[in-house]
Amino acid sequence: MVDTTVIRNADWLIAWNETTQSHVYKRGCDVAFAEGKITFVGKGYAGPATKEIDGRDRFVLPGLVNIHTHPTSEPLRKGITDETRSPGFWHSSLYEYLTIFHNDAAGYTAAIRCALAELLMSGVTTVVDISMPFDGWLDELADSGIRAVAAPVYRDARWFTRNGHKLEYEWDKKAGREAFERAQRVVELARQHPSGRLSGMMSPVQIDTCSAELLRDSQDYARERNLPLQIHAAQSVTEFHEMVGRTGLTPIQWMDKIGILSDNTIIGHGIFLDHHPWLHWTTRKDMGLLADRGATVAHCPTVFVRRGITLRTFGEYVRGGINMGIGTDTYPHNFLDEMRAVAYYARAVGESVDDLQTLDVFNAATIGGARALRRDDIGRLTPGACADILLCDTKEPAMRPLREPLRSLMYVAGDRAVREVFVAGEMVVKDGKCLTIDLAAESEALEEAQKRSMAGVAQRDWAGRTADEIAPMVMPTVN
């Protein structure tokens, strides 16, 4: 007999309505799953059951979909880049600090494990990992139990600064082509991975570090294999003006001109479109192009709002017809916190609670992410979908009074309410703890990796500054 798990009589459940193609609440329902797939959603499941879970105190949701994160590098920077300044680059941290606070091979493992554990414990069941490939990377993703999309990065140029205000590029197209070919091999290995939970995407890493030829070839490869393609674009004022200087077009308009803006394209961040007030630009075409081409924007508010930078606005993008997904990009890798941030920053910048609805955020965290990944079997609870399921405790004090469960979870309780998480029908979180990763041990290892990184900062910084000079403590430490 096939092993079948049933969640009985769930207090609240977010089900997928096939007729309306939308999420709906249900009460007192059952969810059954077997062999990694959901087999039943509704009242009165009467089929076979080898394991039963009491759902009377549970809020059952589809697993969340994170379409943009950097788990091998970003956890290392916790406590360092929270408020670093970079006035020569409109306070973007990319150009002065991305390369000097770098991880080492030993630290990659600790970083990715810490990030994936945190993601799982905040309800993420599918993640896009945008990283430099390293030995054992795919196995690390698989061993965590998460459903992962490996996005091995490659580029033709690296950026650097000699003075903190002028950005320069060192081009090496031969190395870029070799990295592109390596990425193809990694993506194919992900597809073949025995876990059955890995896939891949093409990820030419930044719009300003890739040639038109590399981008076109990347898109051709992605289209031939029905893969997504994700690229960082419209992520800084510096990048915007660099691309206008090179091409006479905004980054988005240039992508469209060279033929890589499509319904499989994910724009990492997509903040500095031509309507953004920091740019005072002369066109208003970018948003319409993204919508017309069916592209997705991966919105990651936390990493930017630290520097006073925001999307203008999430609700405006939704109303403009752009498919929206959500990513954590950086620490904390707490997806429920990121969802709350999406709503609050949009309303603050839009100066109205009407900028978006809670459902807009939840859609982006589920079906918007699924659409970006070209899948219709994740981000929803319906028979035939993957058994990627999140169970939250309706008796958690932060969830009560429980008039509106999604608002209580997203705006108040967050990951405190998460109890169980299943990926492909396998439990990976129990009682709020990750079963596949020893988070305490990996946090110790990550702390050591951070110390090693900080020790070499002065040798990598253009001005020879130490880590403590770049990121001083909040207050003095006295004996």
pLDDT (average), residues 273-293: 98
Q: Confidence class of residue 431 from pLDDT cuts 50, 70 and 90? A: very high
pLDDT (average), residues 435-440: 98
User: Per-residue pLDDT tens for 143-161?
Assistant: 999 999 999 999 999 999 9
User: Tokens at residue 295, please?
Assistant: 């592209």
Q: What pLDDT shows up at residue 61?
A: 98
Q: What pLDDT shows up at residue 99?
A: 84
Q: What pLDDT shows up at residue 98?
A: 85
Report the amino acid identity of residue 23. H
CA-to-CA distance for 425 and 386, rounded, in angstroms? 8
Percent of the chain exceeding pLDDT 90 equals 97
Q: What pLDDT shows up at residue 143?
A: 98
* Cβ-contact 84, 97 below 8 angstroms: yes
User: Per-residue pLDDT tens for 178-219?
Assistant: 999 999 999 999 999 999 999 999 999 999 999 999 999 999
pLDDT (average), residues 456-475: 94
Question: Which residues are 59's β-sheet partners?
Answer: 12, 392
- Look at residue 261 and tell me whether its pLDDT is greater than 90: yes
Flag whether the pTM goes above 0.95: yes
User: Per-residue pLDDT tens for 332-384?
Assistant: 999 999 999 999 999 999 999 999 999 999 999 999 999 999 999 999 999 99
How high does pLDDT run on average in the chain?
Answer: 97
Q: What pLDDT shows up at residue 105?
A: 87
User: Per-residue pLDDT tens for 298-340?
Assistant: 999 999 999 999 999 999 999 999 999 999 999 999 999 999 9
Q: Confidence class of residue 171 from pLDDT cuts 50, 70 and 90? A: very high
Which residues, other chains included, contact 192 with Cβ-Cβ below 8 Å and sequence gap of 6+?
none
What is the rounded end-to-end Cα distance, in angstroms, of the chain? 67
Q: What pLDDT shows up at residue 242?
A: 98
**∠ at Cα 375 (393, 67), nearest 5°?**
65
Q: What pLDDT shows up at residue 182?
A: 98
User: Per-residue pLDDT tens for 11-29?
Assistant: 999 999 999 999 999 999 9
Kindly state the DSSP code that residue 205 receives in the 8-state scheme: -
Write out 239-303 in H/E/C secondary structure.
Answer: HHHHHHHHHCCCHHHHHHHCCCCCCCEEEEECCCCCCCCCCCCCCCCHHHHHHHHCCEEEECHHH
CA-to-CA distance for 385 and 259, rounded, in angstroms? 33
Q: What pLDDT shows up at residue 42?
A: 97
- Look at residue 9 and tell me whether its pLDDT is greater than 90: yes
The structural domains of the chain, ordered by start, are 64-372 (3.20.20.140)
User: Per-residue pLDDT tens for 55-113?
Assistant: 999 999 999 999 999 999 999 999 999 999 999 999 998 999 888 888 988 899 999 99
Q: What pLDDT shows up at residue 188?
A: 98
- Look at residue 1 and tell me whether its pLDDT is greater than 80: no
